[in-house]
Amino acid sequence: MKHIFKQGTNPAAPVLVLFHGTGGTEHDLLPLAAAFSPESSVLSIRGNVSENGMARYFRRIAEGVFDLEDLVFRTKELNDFLDQAAEEYGFDRGNLVAVGYSNGANIAGSLLFHYKDSLRGAILHHPMVPIRGLELPDLSGVPVFIGAGENDPICSPEETNELEGLLGGAGATVDVHWERFGHQLTRSEVAAAAAWYKDHF
């Protein structure tokens, strides 16, 4: 998978794994990593799927309607890639914190839904429920930040509350930060996520 790896100054700090939104690149969220944990190593991954030339992490059938077969396949592909990257770059596979926006938040959420111990924690900006009807692995001790919009046209508050309930029901500690800027990732939301990160890691 096309990616950037930046070695951090503190090998004990979590490795931040970055997942961009639809049409983004592996460069988009680098400023967030610097805001959250400047001493961390960073692995920023470009989505492997192209939708009309826009990079995504898995296919969709329509806006908000996921190709679930592809989602499952791409989630496994990504989890395998994280295993390989840990070997290649020599970081601790058990010390990864995901930072994702929109489609990137959905694939990070899918990692949590499918693979126990795939992530130590996650910052999900405007995620949806990646897949329903799945028994989640034990997420005890996994902190999750969700940035959500009360008026998000893509991800309704009901969807956010459902995701919070599913993750919490599996044992994750979930904090939801609400704003009123639709599906945008705002500076104030990033600041809230940075403060949350400092409290948890």
Question: Would you name the residues annotated as active-site residues?
Answer: 102, 152, 183
Question: How far is it, in rounded angstroms, from Cα 60 to Cα 21?
Answer: 13
Question: How far is it, in rounded angstroms, from Cα 189 to Cα 6?
Answer: 24
Label residue 134 exposed, middle or buried (CB < 10 Å: 0-12, 13-18, 19+): middle
65-66 and 60-62 as β-strands: parallel, antiparallel, unpaired? antiparallel
Inter-residue contact 3 to 45 (CB < 8 Å): yes
